[in-house]
Amino acid sequence: MIIETHAHYDDEKFDADRAGLLSALRESKIEKLINVGASFKGCEDSVKLAHEYDFIYAAVGVHPSDIEDLEAAPEERMNWLLDTAKNDPKVVAVGEIGLDYYWDREEEVQKKQREWFKKQLEIAREADLPVIIHSRDAAQDTMEIMKEAKENGIRGVLHCYSYSPDQAREYVKMGYYIGVGGVVTFKNGKKLQQTVAETPLEHILLETDSPYLSPEPNRGKRNDSRNLHYIAEKIAKIKGITKEEVCERTKDNARVLFTKL
């Protein structure tokens, strides 16, 4: 059995067949999954899904490219995030939160991203929940903020990890986990493959980021959690171990980090 630590089944790409697909996941040995908020509406929808399905859990947090959702009603929405994170038994993390400088190159926008990132990290600290971190083209700022977060006792995972093996080593030293998805199967995924080779299995989590980033042999198609088997197989090949060991160890890791699972 596998635990999926990052999917977006609230996405409109699943509107046509969501119920049937989610039912099929259990037959494909997906034991549990975390549906992760990105927009504020995505957070609300993730919580709804978690209460509709016993094997689905939710993470609530606003993606750096969606911070206008928070700016639209900052007090009301931050209060909702904090209250939900603290009191909903199906909410296991705050995320996905972080920095994304790929789309937003202006310093003023990046400054706002950092501010909202830190405010949501504070929600995680108050709720005593781990964080799911999105970081793209923002390696240095993310590292600095996460070093501070570590000092505040905040646990978490670097989702869809895309930086160097050296930086992954630093995150692991701080106790953070590395989220590994479909990119590890790509021919041009050498950097992530090297990161996986150098990262202890005890610090790796399996994720798909569904509906995005389908692994080989389904690259370019809509992703779903059944593709975790291809990701686990690739990690096993890199590590020289069995796929079953990858699934079991990463499942244990998920339960250590997301203690409500």
Distance, CA of 25 to CA of 150 (rounded, Å): 34
Q: For the chain (length 261 residues), average pLDDT per consecutive 10?
A: 98 98 95 98 98 98 97 97 98 98 91 98 98 98 98 98 98 98 98 98 98 98 98 98 98 98 97
Structure tokens given for 251? 């499942």
Residue 78 CB burial class (10 angstroms; 0-12, 13-18, ≥19): middle
Distance, CA of 154 to CA of 248 (rounded, Å): 25
Which 3 state secondary structure label does DSSP give 64?
Answer: helix
Structure tokens given for 62? 């606003």
Homologous superfamily (CATH) for 2-257 = Metal-dependent hydrolases (3.20.20.140)
Query: Measured between alpha carbons, how far apart are the two ends of the chain, in Å?
Result: 14
Read off the pLDDT of residues 13-40 as tens digits, 9 standing for 90 and up.
999 999 999 999 999 999 999 999 999 9
pTM (two decimals): 0.97
Read off the pLDDT of residues 205-253 as tens digits, 9 standing for 90 and up.
999 999 999 999 999 999 999 999 999 999 999 999 999 999 999 999 9
* Contact predicate 98/142, CB 8 Å: yes
* Contact predicate 55/32, CB 8 Å: yes
Distance, CA of 243 to CA of 75 (rounded, Å): 46
Angle at which helices 228-239 and 190-198 cross, to 10°: 60
